[in-house]
Amino acid sequence: MKRIELAPGAYLNLLPADKFNRCRVNVQLRYPADRARATALALLPFLMERCCADHPDMTDLSCHLARLYGADLAVDSTAAGSGRCLSVTVGGIAPRFALSGEDLAGEYLALALGVAFRPHFADGMFLPEEVEIEKEKLAEELAAEINDKRMYCLRQARRRFYGSHPAGIERTGYADEVKGLTAETVTEAWRWMVENAQLEVFCAGIPEELAARRVRETLAPLTRTPQPLPAPVQLPAAPLVEETERMEMVQAKLCMLFTVEDFQPSRDLDAMRVAMAVLGGSPTSRLFTNVREKQSLCYYCAASFNSFGGMMCIDSGVLPENAARAREAILHEWQTLCSQPPAEAELEDARRFVANSLAAVEDSLAAQETWYSGQLWRGDTAAPDEARRALEKVTADEVAEQMKKFRFAVCYLLTKEDTAE
């Protein structure tokens, strides 16, 4: 990846894309989580994906995307510990596939920058009637959280895990604050974000000169004082929080979260990647093999580590009557790995699994973007190949050492109404 600083706190990241059939532009605005503006910021993706100054009508924007051979436009918000990111992504077919010689690269760039920095305003703010429509959509989305039981369980567990820490500020806003949003408050949140955010623009298949010029032109009229981003989170160990919620459902969901201590990405991340694969990140992991396959205690059971949020998550889908046994079996696998480093063959399998995933990153534009995006949150630009080579040095003892850094913090069980504890 080639990285160019275009202005203070504004970078252009160029990814090679010659072998792909697509182009892609991703504009990321990264800022510290802000409790007071959380709900207004959560409404922005709804308003920005609907229209922009160049395409002020929602249907017109849809037709424009279809004219660009079904280009995708997505405005999303994501979290990285106490940091938040609003990203505008436009992707579509590479110019060589255009049937009438359209300048597709230029169109994608114009659309992504337009959606991010030139919203559809009237009298200097979002249109009140559009704000009202999208408030309804946000409120419905928040209410619909319970539709996806796995995700709902995970979110409920995360709320207990972070409590009032900034990392726990809801990326999707707060239901009881939606009604009070106005065009003024949402516009203020957008202006605050644009002024304070670090800007990372990823371009794949877009000529460097064109991308640099367009981003500079876009930023020129804006007053920006980008703020430093928060450091990765590491919560102190705390007494275990256990909670059970009941609703009408068939398969129970069990989410177990763990704090991490003394985790330094530059020192520990390679070993942690392998450790996660051994514990629960692959189809030959201990959780999959022992808890699912041998004991039939769950349908899925996976472990993942969030280095920005300082959290290991093990989530599983279990029969309601098996939840307690599944919890104990999962803890047993974790504790065993803490006390007994994996055998060499198991370590090699896990290493190969991670190495294969890293080697494949360069075969996907989205995967490359995700990789470098994560790296930049850590202040790093190392390529996946460097991380792949570093795996060779990871030892079995280091895997066990990583596991010992965790403390069991939250156990959240979502289960059906009539199940005994």
Partner 1 sequence: MNDNTTALREAARCEKKVLENGLVLLVRPMPGFRDVHVMCGTRFGSVDRSFTVNGERVDLPAGVAHFLEHKMFESEQGDAFTQYAAVGASANAFTSFDKTCYLFSTTSGVDHALDILLGLVGHPYFTDETVAKEQGIIGQEIRMYDDSPEWRMMFALLQGLYHAHPARDDIAGTEESIARITPQLLYRCTDAFYAPGNLVLAAAGNITMQQVEDAVRRAGMDGGQIPDVQRHAPAEPPQPAKERQDITMSIAKPFLGVGFKEAPPAPQDRLKTELICDMLGELICGSMTPLFRRLYDGGLASADFGGEFLSVDGALCVLFSGETRQPETVRTMLLEEIGRLRREGVDRTIFTLCKNQMYGQMVCELDSTTGLAGALCSSELKGRSLFDEMQALTALQPEDIDAALQTMLCTERSTTAVIWPEKEEAE
Q: Which residues bind partner 1 (CB under 8 A)?
A: 18-22, 58-59, 62-63, 65-71, 92-94, 96-97, 99-100, 133, 136-137, 140, 143-147, 149, 247-251, 282-284, 292-293, 296, 298-300, 317-319, 349, 352-353, 355-357, 359-360, 362-365
The whole-angstrom separation of Cα 168 and Cα 149 is 20
In terms of CB distance, is 22 or 30 closer to partner 1? 22
Min CB(6)–partner 1 separation in Å: 28
Ramachandran quadrant class, 258 (left: phi over 0; alpha: psi -120 to 50; beta: rest): beta
Output the six-digit token pair for 280: 């629960």
Q: Which residues contact 22 (CB under 8 A, 6 or more apart)?
A: 91, 92, 93, 94, 204, 205, 365
The bridge status of strand 241-247 relative to strand 406-416 is parallel
Cα angle at 154 between 152 and 160, to 5 degrees? Answer: 105
In terms of CB distance, is 282 or 306 closer to partner 1? 282
Min CB(324)–partner 1 separation in Å: 16
Min CB(166)–partner 1 separation in Å: 28
Taking a C-beta distance cutoff of 8 angstroms, is the pair 115, 44 a contact?
A: no
In terms of CB distance, is 233 or 347 closer to partner 1? 347
In terms of CB distance, is 237 or 360 closer to partner 1? 360
Beta bridge partners of 410: 241, 257
| Torsions phi, psi for 80 (to 5 deg) | -135, 90
In terms of CB distance, is 9 or 320 closer to partner 1? 320
**CB-facing half-sphere around the CA of 88: CA atoms within 13 A:** 26
Taking a C-beta distance cutoff of 8 angstroms, is the pair 318, 346 a contact?
A: no
In terms of CB distance, is 266 or 296 closer to partner 1? 296
In terms of CB distance, is 195 or 349 closer to partner 1? 349
Min CB(79)–partner 1 separation in Å: 22
Beta bridge partners of 303: 314
Min CB(191)–partner 1 separation in Å: 26
Min CB(251)–partner 1 separation in Å: 4
- DSSP tag of 227: P
In terms of CB distance, is 100 or 223 closer to partner 1? 100
The whole-angstrom separation of Cα 407 and Cα 241 is 12
Min CB(419)–partner 1 separation in Å: 13
Min CB(145)–partner 1 separation in Å: 7
What are the distances in angstroms from CA 33 to CA 323, 370, 371? 35, 20, 22
